[in-house]
C-alpha cells in the first residue's frame, strides 16, 4: 500500500529513515511517499490528520487521538534535552518575567519547561531563529532544541536552565521524551505494527553503518560540520530509538501524568503500538 510519511529536516530523523527512503531496506507492504517539514508544522498537520505516518513532538500526542505512537523511531535524551539560553545569568523568577522564544506550543520542549518553571511569557518562532533573536536582544531568553543545544556558545550565549537534567532528577533517571513517530489508526493495529517493524529495521541498518547513514543525514546539516552532526545524531539515535521499551514508555506516560495534573494537557487515551 502507498502511504505518506512526514519527517523533519533534522539529521537524527534523516539518519533513522535513511535505509527506508533509499531502498536499503524494503517492505512488501508499503510504498513510501515522504514529505519534509519542521516539527511544529508536522504537529499541526497531524492535528488535521493529513499524513499517514509522521514524526511529531511527544507533547502533540495529547491532541491527535486518531494516531498511534510507534515503538520505534523516538528521540529520547539520556539526561539531556532542551535548554534555555540567554545573554544574562537570569534566576528562574527573573526568567518568568522575561519573554522567552519557544519553538512551538506543541513541542515537548515547551511542555517540559512549563512543568519545570510554571507558566511564562513566550513568543513562538522557528527553532532555527531563536538563537539569533536572543543574540540580538529581541527576546530575553530562548528555549532551544535540535543541534542548537550544542552550538549556542558559538554566539557567546549562556545556558541558564537545563531541562533535560531537571527531568532526569525529577523522574529518577527516566529518559527525556521529545520526539516520536505516529501512524493513523485507520490502518489497524496489525498494519501499524508491520510498519513499526519496517521502521525499526531502517534504524538498525543505519546504526550498523553509521558513516553511510551520516552521509545521507548531512543533507540536513544546515551548514554544521560533520563532527557536530555526528555528535547530535549519536545523542538522539540510541537503543531507545530502536525500541522504546519500558523506560521510554514510562517517560511518555509520566510526561502526560505530570501535564494533566498541572492542567497543561487534557486527559486522553494514550495509544502505543
CB 42 within 8 A of CB 8: yes
32 pLDDT band, cuts 50/70/90, is very high
CB atoms within 10 A of CB 162: 18
Tens digit of each residue's pLDDT (9 = 90 or more) over 121-138: 999 999 889 999 999 999
Residue 32 in grid coordinates:
513510501
User: Is pLDDT of 270 > 90?
Assistant: yes
Report how far residue 141's alpha carbon sits from residue 120's, in angstroms, rounded to the nearest whole number. 11
- CA-based max dimension of the chain: 56
Report how far residue 51's alpha carbon sits from residue 64's, in angstroms, rounded to the nearest whole number. 12
The fraction of the chain above a pLDDT of 90, given in percent, is 88
Predicted local distance difference test score (pLDDT) of residue 152 = 66
User: Is pLDDT of 241 > 90?
Assistant: yes
Paired strand residues for 54: 6, 182
CB 61 within 8 A of CB 68: no
Tens digit of each residue's pLDDT (9 = 90 or more) over 146-172: 776 666 666 678 899 999 999 999 999
Average pLDDT over the chain, rounded to whole?
Answer: 94
User: Is pLDDT of 264 > 80?
Assistant: yes
Predicted local distance difference test score (pLDDT) of residue 153 = 67
Predicted local distance difference test score (pLDDT) of residue 127 = 86
pTM of the model: 0.94
Q: Which CATH superfamily is domain 2-76+177-261 in?
A: Periplasmic binding protein-like II (3.40.190.10)
CATH 3.40.190.10 in the chain is located at 2-76+177-261, 83-171
Q: CA separation (Å) from 228 to 12, 123, 211, 234?
A: 12, 28, 14, 10
Please say if 146 is a catalytic residue. yes
Mean pLDDT over 42-71 rounds to 97
Question: Which H, E and C letters describe the chain, residue by residue?
Answer: CEEEEEECCCHHHHHHHHHHHCCCCCCCCCEEEEEECCHHHHHHHHHCCCCCEEEEEHHHHHHCCCEEECCCCCEEECCCCCEEEECCCCCHHHHHCCCEEECCCCCHHHHHHHHHHCCCCEEECCHHHHHHHHHCCCCCEEEECHHHHCCHHHHCCEEEEEHHHHHHHHHCCCCEEEEEEEEEHHHCHHHHHHHHHHHHHHHHHHHHCHHHHHHHHHHHCCCCCHHHHHHHHHHHCCHHHHCCHHHHHHHHHHHHHHHHHCCCCCCCCCCEC
Pick 96 or 212 by higher pLDDT: 212
Predicted local distance difference test score (pLDDT) of residue 157 = 86
CB 75 within 8 A of CB 14: no
Which CATH topology does 83-171 take?
D-Maltodextrin-Binding Protein; domain 2 (3.40.190)
Predicted local distance difference test score (pLDDT) of residue 128 = 86
Predicted local distance difference test score (pLDDT) of residue 71 = 98
CB atoms within 10 A of CB 156: 8
Say which residue the cell 518568568 belongs to: 96
Residue 200 in grid coordinates:
525499526
10 exposure class (CB count in 10 Å sphere: 0-12, 13-18, 19+): buried
| Active-site residue, from 29, 49, 59, 146 | 146
Amino acid at each position: 500500500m502507498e502511504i505518506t510519511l512526514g519527517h523533519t529536516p533534522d539529521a537524527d530523523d534523516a539518519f533513522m529513515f535513511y535505509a527506508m527512503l533509499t531502498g536499503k531496506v524494503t517492505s512488501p507492504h508499503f510504498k513510501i511517499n515522504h514529505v519534509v517539514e519542521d516539527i511544529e508544522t508536522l504537529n499541526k498537520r497531524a492535528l488535521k490528520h493529513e499524513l499517514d505516518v509522521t514524526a511529531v513532538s511527544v507533547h502533540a500526542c495529547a491532541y491527535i487521538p486518531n494516531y498511534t505512537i510507534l515503538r520505534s523511531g523516538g528521540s529520547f535524551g539520556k539526561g539531556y534535552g532542551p535548554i534555555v539560553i540567554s545573554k544574562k545569568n537570569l534566576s528562574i523568577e527573573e526568567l518568568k518575567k522575561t519573554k522567552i522564544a519557544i519553538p512551538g506550543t506543541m513541542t515537548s520542549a515547551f511542555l517540559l519547561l512549563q512543568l519545570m518553571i510554571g507558566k511564562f511569557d513566550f513568543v513562538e518562532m522557528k527553532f532555527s531563529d531563536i538563537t539569533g533573536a536572543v543574540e540580538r536582544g529581541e527576546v530575553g531568553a530562548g528555549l532551544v532544541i535540535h543541534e542548537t543545544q550544542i552550538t549556542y556558545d558559538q554566539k557567546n550565549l549562556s545556558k541558564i536552565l537545563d531541562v533535560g537534567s531537571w527531568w532526569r532528577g525529577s523522574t529518577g533517571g527516566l529518559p527525556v521524551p521529545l520526539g516520536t513517530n505516529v501512524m493513523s489508526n485507520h490502518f489497524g493495529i496489525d498494519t501499524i505494527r508491520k510498519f513499526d517493524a519496517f521502521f525499526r529495521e531502517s534504524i538498525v541498518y543505519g546504526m550498523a553503518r553509521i558513516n553511510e547513514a551520516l552521509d545521507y543525514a548531512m543533507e540536513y546539516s544546515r551548514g554544521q560540520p560533520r563532527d557536530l552532526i555526528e555528535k547530535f545524531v549519536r545523542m538522539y539515535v540510541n537503543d531507545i530509538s530502536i525500541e522504546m521499551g519500558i523506560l521510554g514508555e514510562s517517560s511518555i506516560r509520566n510526561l502526560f501524568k505530570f501535564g494533566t495534573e498541572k492542567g497543561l494537557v487534557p486527559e486522553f487515551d494514550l495509544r502505543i503500538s
